[in-house]
Amino acid sequence: MDLNADLAEGFGIWRLGDDDALLDVITSANVACGFHGGDSVTMRRVCATAAARGVTVGAQVSYRDLAGFGRRRIDYAFDELRDDVIYQIGALDGFCRVAGMAVRYVKPHGALYNTAAVEEAQAAAVVAAVRDYDRKLPILCSPGSTLAELAVGAGLTVVGEGFADRAYETNGNLVSRSQTGAVITDPDAVVARAVRLAREGTMVAVDGSTIPLRVASICLHGDTPGAAELARRVRDGLTAAGATLAPFAS
């Protein structure tokens, strides 16, 4: 099982999360590419540290929305969204090359993640970007989503992802952050949900029903207070449950 987290989401003098501490725990780093967070100095620093610690790096691509942290839905023309995604992958890949590595996968962030999960137009733009840049790059996304289906149809590799610290609707979509309880903060609950994902490939939805969620990677949000300690607890819980932690891409 892979354990991933969102990193490099600070900007300028503003820091968000503890990137260095998380890089001691996770196996894959979703690195912000400057559109919802991150800047050139932050991207270079995180890529260098990830390379030194053997953590795989993926491009966390988003809407061009620094002010809204990429969590506001934006209507895009197909060509513009496709090319904005390519721009971000290329920027991060440059800093990966400087660090002696390469971008190994692509994951949408925030509102783009949620929109591409259900809307064909934006999902198709993300798929086109990855296909045009490097069709060998896997897309990390929700299993069964529109993005996953279009990516498979285009001959791309899809890696299913589950969120241990987010609530799920009965249809497998994430509960909107605008709703109470959308983010799970109780450490014991987060660990239990991660272990359930790894062992059973299921998740308990907000109505108490059980939904299938076959995943190869579990995400923890790097901007959650105490994210590094929570990640350590999740890693320890997965290991105790018999899971072997390793990046899904190498």
Cα dihedral 199, 200, 206, 209 sign: negative
Q: How far apart are CA 62 and CA 148, in angstroms?
A: 17
pLDDT at 17 over 90: no
Cα–Cα distance between 72 and 126 in angstroms, integer?
17
Q: For tokens 């090359």, what's the residue?
A: 97
Contacts of 149 (CB under 8 A, 6+ apart): none
Tens digits of per-residue pLDDT, 37-92?
999 999 999 999 999 999 999 999 999 999 999 999 999 999 999 999 999 999 99
Q: Look at residues 145, 140, 89, 137 and name the one whose alpha carbon lies nearest to residue 115.
A: 145
3-state class of 117 per DSSP? coil
C-alpha–C-alpha distance, residues 16 and 229, integer Å? 15
- Write down the pTM of the prediction: 0.95
